[in-house]
Chain A
Amino acid sequence: MLDIRNLKVSYGLTQVLRDVSFSVPEGKIVALLGGNGSGKTTMLNTLTGLVKPGGGSILFQGQECAGIDASDFVKRGVVQVPQGREVWASMSVDDNLELGAATRHDRAGIKTDLAEIYELFPKLKVHRRRNAGSLSGGEQQMVAIGRALMARPKCLLMDEPSAGLAPSIVADMVDTILALNKRGLTILLVEQNIGVAAAVAEYAHILQSGEIAFSAPAPGLVDNPAVLSSYLGR
Chain B
Amino acid sequence: MMLSYILLSGVTTGALYALVALGIVIVNKATGVINFAQGELFMFSGFLAWALHVQFGIGYPLTLVLAIAGGFLLGVMTDRIAFQPLKNVDVVSLVLATVGIAFILRGVARVIWGGKGDYLTFPPITSPEPIMIGEIMIIPQQLAVLAGAVLIMALFWLFFRYTRAGKMMQATADNAKAATLVGIRTDRIYALAFGTGTAVAAAAAVLAAPLTLLYPDMGFSFFIKGFAAAVLGGLTSLPGAILGGLLVGIAEALAGGYIASSLMEVSGFVVIMLVLVIMPSGLLGARRLRRV
Contact = CB atoms under 8 A, between A and B. Distances in A.
Contact of A70 (B167, B171, B175, B183): B183
Contacts of B167: 91, 95, 98-99
B174 A91 contact: yes
B154 interface: no
B13 to A, nearest CB: 31
Interface in A80-117: 80, 82, 86-91, 95, 98-103
A71 B178 contact: no
Contacts of B178: 82, 86-88
Contact of B181 (A48, A89, A90, A95): A48
Nearest to A133: B174
Nearest to A87: B178
Interface residues of B, number: 16
A102 B174 contact: no
A89 B170 CA distance: 11
A165 B168 CA distance: 29
Given A91-B167, A99-B167, A99-B168, A86 B175 contact: yes
Interface residues of A, number: 29
A75 interface: yes
A79 interface: yes
B87 interface: no
A199 B139 CA distance: 75
B184 A99 contact: yes
Contacts of A148: 181-182
A147 B175 CA distance: 14
B93 interface: no
Interface in A57-76: 69-71, 73-75
A86 B179 CA distance: 9
Given A50-B177, A82-B177, A82-B178, A90 B170 contact: yes
B173 to A, nearest CB: 8
A70 to B, nearest CB: 5
B183 A74 contact: yes
29 contacts: A70-B180, A70-B183, A71-B183, A71-B184, A71-B185, A73-B183, A74-B181, A79-B181, A79-B182, A80-B181, A82-B178, A87-B175, A87-B178, A88-B170, A88-B175, A90-B170, A91-B167, A91-B170, A91-B174, A99-B179, A99-B182, A99-B184, A102-B179, A102-B182, A102-B183, A102-B184, A147-B182, A148-B182, A151-B182
Give the 5 A-B residue pairs with the shortest CB-CB distance, closest first.
A74-B183, A103-B183, A71-B183, A86-B178, A88-B174
Interface of B: 164, 167-168, 170-171, 174-175, 177-185
